[in-house]
A and B are shown apart, each in its own frame.
Chain A
Amino acid sequence: MERKKDFEALYRKNLELTKKQVREAVNEDLLIIQAISSVGDIDKTANLLSKRLREWFALYNPELEHRVKEHEEFVKLVIAQNEKKADDSMGKSFEKEDFGQILSLAGHINSLYELRQQYFNYLEKILKKYCPSVLAITGPIIGAKLFGHAGSLRKLAVLPSSTIQLLGAEKALFRHLQTRGRAKSPKHGILSQHPVMGKVKFKEHGKAARVLADKISLAARIDYFKGQYAGDKLRKEIEEKFGKWE
């Protein structure tokens, strides 16, 4: 009977404590990670639906669909309905009701793009306050993606820069390790999306990724340990090597 009482006391104490701990574990890092994951999901969804919209709209006006390659721009043009069909168009004229279906899909896709912009601004704002130096080097999307992979600013700050260089390339890295070098080692993970990568020659991608990772690592440490803002200085050091971006 004594044991039963102990159990009950421990049950209540642990449940209460754990609930409190779970509540207190919610922090800025988690908000950033949810926002960036949401951006990723929106990108995927918008892309999928845009492709469907293209197929559908091309029945009506294939020339416009063929001309405009950018999804977002295409959706806006569909909504605006300003484009006149060419006289010798391959497309068929639609009844009002049939065309209305296409339009409402375009409207929903457009609001997805607006939502993405809203999250982009939100991420920029929250990162500016939380880790300004990292933001200066990476921009909001890549910065937040690094967060998502590392788990938190603390974890990003304690990671070696060689790990930061390969965040997002886990699959390729383990393939390399498991085949004992028969598969080449990856040069970069998320960092391949960085604007600098578009500027350098293919042969220098690895070098650029390494430099970027170094500077991000330094920036993350400065931000985590609340040092003096050094984003501009670090950014300049990269720009001297590989040229300006944005």
Chain B
Amino acid sequence: MGVRKSKIFEVYESDDFRKRKLYTANLVPGKKAYGENIAVQDGIEYREWDAGSSKLASLILNGCTNTGIRNGDVVLYLGSSTGTTVSHVSDIVGKEGFVFALDVAPRVMRDLVFMCEDRKNIAPILADANKPDSFKDRVMEADVLYQDIAQKNQVEIFLKNVKAFLKKGGYALLAVKARNIDVTRNPKDIFRQVRAELESHLTIIDFRTLDPYQRDHCMFVCKRQ
């Protein structure tokens, strides 16, 4: 079984077409970030990117062809948790790029700090994404903003951060968890409402629900004008 380039920048896929698997080239060969599977081809190490534990991977598997993240980009990642997805984003942006990984919980930060010590292109930030002022001197203008946080006002937080940190023409990715906004309402209604809120500030390029990998989730890919 081999690994070949996919249609997306710096993302690879298995050539086993029965089950599509994603890979990214390991930035620090010989080191796993979180116990994932590793495939080696032509001397390059690839880390398997499981869609069940990463919303970005499930977005790609559900057919998105442009995530907006490229080699050399500066990514502001809000809601990094222990850094499963962050490690793959760090692979994608490579040595020329940089990732700011932000989370509020000290517990998950501990694991993230250990990962940052291996991967020099990730900076851990322990701060509340709802208060952009509190971490504004710890980040720089970003090419891509990615947000995956479980808060009721996640859209408001997203727009706040887009305004504060995303450069003009930059990409903004938002993972929405319908269950966090309102457990009783139909997810479809919530997605429609989020879409309306986003549309007044950003251009929506892509929208996909993340079934079957993540239930009641969807992802918006937007661009700032």
Contacts and interface: CB of A to CB of B under 8 A. Distances in A.
B110 interface: yes
Contacts of B123: 10-11, 13-15
Given A10-B140, A178-B183, A180-B184, A18 B98 contact: no
A14 B140 CA distance: 12
Main secondary structure of the interface of B (DSSP, over half): mixed
Nearest to A11: B123
Nearest to A8: B120
Interface in B76-130: 96, 98, 100, 106, 109-110, 113, 116-117, 120-126
B204 interface: no
Contact of B109 (A11, A22, A177): A22
Interface string B177-193: 00000011000000000
Contacts, number: 55
Given A7-B98, A7-B121, A14-B124, A21 B139 contact: no
B106 A14 contact: no
Nearest to A180: B184
A177 B126 contact: no
A174 interface: yes
A6 B132 CA distance: 20
B110 A14 contact: no
Contacts of A13: 123, 138
A37 to B, nearest CB: 13
B140 A6 contact: yes
Chain B interface residue count: which class?
Answer: 20 to 34
Contact of B183 (A10, A26, A177): A177
Interface in A1-27: 4, 6-8, 10-11, 13-15, 17-19, 21-22, 25-26
A22 to B, nearest CB: 5
Given A178-B184, A180-B184, A17 B106 contact: no
Contacts of B184: 177-178, 180
B110 A22 contact: yes
A174 B183 contact: yes
Contacts of A25: 106, 126
14 contacts: A4-B96, A7-B98, A7-B121, A8-B120, A10-B123, A10-B139, A11-B98, A11-B116, A11-B121, A11-B123, A14-B123, A18-B125, A177-B183, A178-B183
The 3 closest A-B pairs by CB, nearest first: A25-B106, A14-B123, A21-B126
Interface of A: 4, 6-8, 10-11, 13-15, 17-19, 21-22, 25-26, 174, 177-178, 180
